[in-house]
Structure 1
Amino acid sequence: MAASSSNPSFIVEVAEDYPYPSHVCNPNITVKLSGKDMYKAWKTQMLCLLMSQNMLGFINGETDTITEDEREKIRRKEKACRDLYYRTMNGVLDRGEVTVTDKITNNGNTALHVAVETCKDPEFFEKMLEKTPENISLTDLKNSDGSTLLHIAAIVGNTEAAKILVERYPDMLIQEDNEGQTPLALALSSNMHTEAAMCLLNNIKTDIHKDTLFSGTSGDELLVLAISSKDFQLAGNLLSRYSKLDSDVVLMAIVQNFPCELSFWERRAAVLPFVKRRVAIRKGAYDLLWRVCELMQHSISSSHLKKYYTNPVLEATRQNEVDVVKRIVRYFPNAFWSASEDGHNVIQYAVINHSEKIYNLLYEMSEHKNVYKTSKDSSGNNLLHLAARLAPAEKLNFISGAALQIQYVLQWYKEVERFVCPLDITQKNSSQETPQMVFTREHKNLVIEGEKWMKSTAESYTIAAALITTIVFAAAITVPGGNNQESGVPIFTNNPAFTIFAVSDSISLFTAVMSLLIFLSILTARFAEEDFLYKLPRMLIIGLVTLLISTTTMIIAFGAALFIVFGQKNVLLLIPIGALTGLTITFCVALQFPLVIDLMSATYGRSMFGRKAATTYDFRI
């Protein structure tokens, strides 16, 4: 609908579905939006027009000035619009102008399709169904996408309409659209309408429907859709209707969507609501994994099991999901000897992907762990050659700083070096490279980046240490309050605050000088590969700790000096001085301490690699 004013160049388009029309009379619009250069002038005039008609709130969202009476009027208008829609639809149908099965939209939707999509009133929908001509079968009623009424109900989540349809026309459950999708598949994939999906599931009663929906490739895809949405409870409900799986996609979907393991603090705080939810989700995923393995074990012949577990167990290895690997291996012991496309088994694949939890299973194995000490791949690489490869990007991205990344890969290399036979350390592969040669070639660029990171960090802290040294040295010479002209002794020598100042300033000076010397030694280091394992991180730790101590004691010295000068006659001044001093120290520690903790935990913390556990597993060959 279009309304035009006396000005022929201005036309106001009012959409038919706009619920609050405003009649704009004689708008004074003289500028047309004909290009970017006209936008500002056009915008100014449009804002003036909207303000004059009290419509600006619909543009900037400031509609909070609507009174309760006005809101009630709006609600009555909305109800009137809905009633008008029902009456209009019924009136059109009653007059015989169209039937409910006539196509009334561009994509071939009938009036029934539109009703399912837009109306969730079951009584109205049932009245619409009663108007269906006797010679028309609703199971054959499709739009241009091949969607039946039940497809539309599944897409929009219209549970009431879906319930009515499946009770009257159960064969709609297995009908497919042009893309080969059933209504149940669409309910699972279209914004995850769980309620509608459960309604469809509860109405699947015949064996024909069960065999059609829960078998073959399409059956596996239903489970994958539910698993991908992290709704493991719904996936478990689906799984109970399966007699067997068609391929490895279901197990692979569980592995790819398996919830992350809870951290140490999350396990301690398991009573909190959000943590309890994560615990429940992980438990649901683990239970589903167990049930899928059970189904595979009982429904698939042992000769075909390999193609079901090979890719999933390797993906679980890549993701470092040790619980998943253990569960799969518990049901299918030979899965531990699965090989990737490059011929790498689980432990070799774990070394390549730096999956330390899977690698630690070596210490839970019985005699078979010795096999890996001499095992080689098709290129003649032993386990140490594989450890010498560059770590995957997703592993390195979790480590802050190139220097710590080099330290991480060195720790991996040294760990595997301790495990393999001494002869393997110098053994060459088919490319005539030793493990050390492979490591140097693979990590050449990372070493350069680590050197840049270490030098830039040391340079920044060197400047800070030099500034602190200068400040506290000057403070030590010109003590607060000055010196006695005759004896040269500081005037406030016997003041406790002066003692605090003297001690803090001295500690700050000495530690700042130590820090400065350490950072200077880092700048002149040789930056060899081995230095990144302990030497350089240890120097950086000492430098940061001494600089942190120097900064903290400098702040304390300044606070004491401030109190000496201004607080002698006003003891209450100690409160704001102490508060500000404590706040500054806290702020300083909060900013610098995380890096110190990362360095200390990476260098001296508990090793990521385990040792022989009490429990051993029988990994059959």
Structure 2
Amino acid sequence: MNPDVAAASDVPDIKIIIPGDDESHASPPNLMDEIRNSKERGDMYMHAFLDEWDKMLPIVKEDPNSVRIPLTGLGDTALHVAAGAGNTTFVEELIKLMSPEDVLRPNSYGMLPVHLAALSSHHRIVQLLCSHHLLDKMTYKDIEKLFFMTINNNMFDVAIKLFEKRPVELTFARDEQRLTSLHILARKPYEVLKRKLQDDIETRRSTVTGMDLLRRIWTEVRKLKIKEILDLTTKPSAVLFDAIESGNHDIVIEYFMESVAILTNIKDSNGRNLVHLLFLYRRLEVFHPLVNDKKQHLLRAVDNEGNNVLHLAALLPLEFKSFSGLSAKIQMQRELGWFEGAERSVPHELRSMRNKKGKTPIDVFYDEHKQLSKDIKESAKGIADSGMVVATLVATVAFAAALTVPGNKNSAWFIVFIVTNAIALFTSSASILSFLSNFTSSRFADTEFVMSLHPSLTFGPELLIISVAAMVVAFIAASFLIFDCTTKWVSYVVTPMGVFPLLVFILFQSKFFDDSYWAKYYRPKLR
């Protein structure tokens, strides 16, 4: 609940003293009136706070002035309390009995009931208290305060209604942090800006989205002079930079790209220009149409640390610094793909440039991905150890089975048994050698492992799958050899049972290969 709205505990603790018979006629009249008025205010507060309109209605009808009575030490009236508590029905009925002046009565901190509702994200109540006849009587100061509250709480339909009332003033308006409405919208995720809200309470039509509000404000910005646009969109920070840093959608960035001509010389606190940020936050789809022969100086510029665009492209993104839902191997593959694509997008001489620490872009890439390389190495060792154990067991079973061939050697099933058993033996042996190469190959060194994955991580598990599948088929063939002349039904029962462990093995083994599927459907979204 909003701090400006008094809680139930704020109701004055009134001790009612019941006089005895000998002094019942001695109490001053004004004391009894004060006690009675305090109790009534306490009751009114609780009715408003608990949404008890049926109990509040007789009080208001008996005394219309009761809607103006402060019920808390903060000067909150019944409408303040109900609006802050989110009691929609109470507010809707109460304002029918109030004049616009009473609805717009502020508390001791200058907060209107609609401000308290907006701070607490009570959208319906804000809509009720923002009818056109109330907005016409609201001061600009209150409109501006409400405008920023509604944007911060994603009530874009109300925000655009306020903007239409005072478009010029609200275009230049800034909040307590000196941010304009463009700065706030640029920092919001696109998923929030494109979200449709509930129907408007007056028109019953589908409400506007944050993108509609952004388009309306930007239409007003286009009418300004270049110097005014520059001041508006670059102080305290560049709105285009804010949109890029927040990972916003291309549609949002395109609006602010209209002013790119006046942003070419703008830098952030780290000395990074627009192109630096596009590489840092991996927005090459915006970079390619932006940079031409006239803007090559942006591409070759360095920041305060001497980093060029490739140094920044080599940095590990925020999503990989936290839990990304991907294995280290897949992360490394994506990182390599991104960095190689960035290298192809810039002049060749940038690859060998050194920053103030004396490091080239590839040196920065190594440093940033050391932990990821270590994770891959540890994962590879775990896979190799487990794979070698399983492959050794399969090879042992296959070798022993080859020495004790069951049943009739003239049967076609005998040929199936020999072939599949040989496949199981030799592929499991190859799998052992493949996993063993993780520990013997020089490519397992850190300096090379960062840039490439050892082939055994792919071929070892694949060979192991083949060997297990062949072992299962060999067992099924052996059952037909043994029960060929007696109870054949046993073989037909064993066959489908043999498929089950094979499917389970493939399912669990695929966890090492199908990280791309995992990332697509189960990767958590970062906020």
Give the TM-score normalised by the residue count of structure 2. Answer: 0.74
* Secondary structure at 2:216 match in 1: helix
CA 1:553–1:156 in structure 2 vs 1: closer, same or farther (change >3 Å)?
farther
User: After the TM superposition, which residues 497-516 of structure 1 pair with which residues of structure 2 at under 5 Å, given as runs?
Assistant: 498-516=414-432
Q: 1:590 to 1:319 in 2, by over 3 A?
A: farther
Does the CA contact (< 8 Å) of 2:190 and 2:252 recur in 1?
no
Q: Distance in 2 between matches of 1:372 and 1:401?
A: 36
Structure 1 Cα separation of the partners of residues 158 and 403 of structure 2: 75
2:134 match: secondary structure: coil
* Structure 2 partner of 1:294: 219
Change (3 A) 1:130 1:417: same
**Could you list the runs of 5+ residues in structure 2 that have no partner in the other structure?**
1-30, 193-205, 520-527
Would you say 1:153 and 2:82 are equivalent positions? yes
Correspondence 1:366-385 to 2 at 5 A: 367=292, 368=294, 370-385=296-311
| Structure 1 residue corresponding to 2:269, chosen from 338, 341, 344 | 341
Q: 1:434 to 1:119 in 2, by over 3 A?
A: closer
Residues 388 and 442 in structure 1, CA contact (< 8 A), matched pair in contact too: yes
Distance 1:531 1:291, change over 3 A: same
Once the 2 structures are TM-superposed, how far is the Cα of residue 97 of structure 1 from its aligned partner?
8.2
Distance 1:129 1:492, change over 3 A: farther
* 1:593 corresponds to 2:507: no
Q: Which runs of 5+ in 1 are unaligned?
A: 1-95, 262-280, 483-489, 603-621
Superposed, 1:355-374 pairs within 5 Å as 355=282, 358-365=283-290, 367=292, 368=294, 370-374=296-300
Deviation (angstroms), 1:565: 4.4
Counterpart residue number, 1:58: none
Q: Distance in 1 between matches of 2:55 and 2:69?
A: 22
Aligned CA distance change for structure 1 residues 415 and 529 (closer, same or farther; 3 Å): farther
Contact preservation (8 Å) 2:343, 2:351: yes
Inter-CA distance 373–571: structure 2 relative to 1 (3 Å threshold):
farther
* SS of alignment partner, residue 437 of structure 2: helix
| Structural mapping, 1:8-157, within 5 Å | 102-104=37-39, 110-121=42-53, 123-132=54-63, 138-157=67-86
Which one of 110, 124, 131 corresponds to residue 202 of structure 1?
131
Q: Which residue of 1 aligns with 2:254?
A: 327
Q: Counterparts in 2 of 1:205-224, with a 5 A limit? A: 205-209=134-138, 211-215=140-144, 217-224=145-152
Kindly indicate whether residue 445 of structure 2 is the aligned counterpart of residue 518 of structure 1.
Answer: no
The CA distance in 1 between the partners of 2:415 and 2:162, in whole Å, is 75
Amino acid at match of 2:429: V
Which position in structure 1 is the counterpart of 2:447?
Answer: 529
Deviation of the 1:342 alpha carbon: 0.7
Does the 8 Å CA contact 1:373/1:420 hold for their aligned counterparts?
yes
Aligned position for 2:378: 452
- Inter-CA distance 584–308: structure 2 relative to 1 (3 Å threshold): farther
Between the aligned partners of 2:423 and 2:123, the Cα distance in structure 1 is 65
CA distance in 1, matches of 2:273, 2:164: 33
Structure 2 vs 1, CA of residues 377 and 119 (structure 1 numbering), >3 Å: closer, same or farther? closer
Cα distance, 1:224 vs structure 2: 0.9
Change (3 A) 1:206 1:361: closer
Give the 3 Å change call, closer, same or farther, for CA 335–501 of structure 1 in structure 2. farther
**Structure 2 partner of 1:420:** 346
Taking the aligned partners of 1:137 and 1:299, their CA distance within structure 2 comes to 48
Match of 1:420, SS state, is coil
Offset of 1:129 from its aligned partner? 0.6
Q: CA deviation at 1:153?
A: 1.4
Q: 1:541 aligns with which of 458, 464, 476?
A: 458
Contact 2:325 2:518 in 1 (8 A): no
Supply the distance in 2 between the matched residues of 1:505 and 1:551 (Cα, whole angstroms): 10
Displacement of 1:462: 2.3
Q: CA 1:142 to 1:311, structure 2 compared with 1: closer, same or farther past 3 Å?
A: farther
Equivalent pair of 1:504/1:557 in contact (CA under 8 Å): yes
User: What letter is aligned with 2:324?
Assistant: F
2:122 paired residue among 183, 193, 211: 193
Shift of 1:395: 5.4
Match of 1:72 in 2: none
- C-alpha distance 146-561 of structure 1, shift in aligned 2 (>3 A): farther
Normalising by structure 1, we get a TM-score of 0.64
1:302 aligned counterpart, secondary structure: helix
1:468 is aligned to 394
Q: Structure 1, residues 162-197: CA drift from partner, whole Å, max 9, x if none?
A: 12333413235444446654322332343x433222
Q: Which residue of 2 aligns with 1:258?
A: 189
1:476, 1:505 within 8 Å by CA — same for their partners in 2?
yes
Q: Find out whether 1:494 has 2:425 as its counterpart.
A: no
- Residues 400-419 of structure 1 mapped to structure 2, 5 A cutoff: 400-419=326-345
Displacement after TM superposition at 1:318 (Å): 2.9
Q: Are residues 587 and 567 of structure 1, via their aligned partners in 2, closer, same or farther at CA, if it must alter by over 3 Å?
A: farther
Shift of 1:420: 2.9
1:5-33, Cα deviation, whole Å (9 max, x unpaired): xxxxxxxxxxxxxxxxxxxxxxxxxxxxx
Size of the aligned set, in residue pairs, is: 461
Once residues 570 and 236 of structure 1 are traced to their aligned partners in structure 2, the CA distance between those partners, rounded to angstroms, is 82
Q: 2:475 & 2:313 partners in 1: Cα distance?
A: 52
Instruction: Give the distance between the partners of 2:37 and 2:383, measured in 1 at CA.
Output: 73
Q: Counterparts of 1:570 and 1:286 in 2: how far apart (Å)?
A: 74
1:208 alignment partner, SS class: coil
Q: 1:179 to 1:404 in 2, by over 3 A?
A: farther
In 2, Cα distance between equivalents of 1:559 and 1:114: 78
1:152 CA drift (Å): 1.6
- State the shift of 1:143 in Å: 0.7
State how far apart, in whole Å, the 2-side matches of 1:599 and 1:534 are: 18
Q: 1:339-365 CA distances to partner (integer Å, 9 max, x unpaired)?
A: 322121233123334x2xx12323223
**Could you tell me how far apart the structure 2 residues matched to 1:518 and 1:400 are?**
24
Structure 1 pair 334/182, CA: closer, same or farther in 2 (3 Å)? farther
Asked if the contact 2:221/2:229 (under 8 Å) is kept, the reply is no
Q: What amino acid sits opposite 1:348 in the alignment?
A: H
Task: Tell me: CA distance 1:549–1:171, structure 2 relative to 1, closer, same or farther (3 Å).
Answer: farther
Tell me the percent identity. Answer: 23
Instruction: Output the CA distance in 1 between the equivalents of 2:81 and 2:517.
Output: 59
Evaluate the alpha carbon distance shift between residue 478 and residue 313 of structure 1 in structure 2; reply closer, same or farther with a 3 A threshold.
farther
Q: RMSD across aligned C-alpha pairs, in angstroms? A: 3.8
Change (3 A) 1:250 1:509: farther
Cα distance change, pair 149–599 in 1 and its aligned pair in 2 (3 A): closer
* 1:274 corresponding residue in structure 2: none
Q: CA deviation at 1:369?
A: 5.8
Equivalents in 1 of 2:71, 2:446: separation in Å? 71
Q: Which amino acid aligns with 2:464?
A: L
Relative distance call for 1:220 and 1:319 in structure 2 (3 A) is closer
Contact 1:403/1:532, CA 8 A, preserved across alignment: no
2:524 alignment counterpart: none
**Counterpart AA for 2:48:** V
The CA deviation string for residues 548-575 of structure 1, in whole angstroms up to 9 with x for no partner, is: 3333333343344445546875565566
Match of 1:16 in 2: none
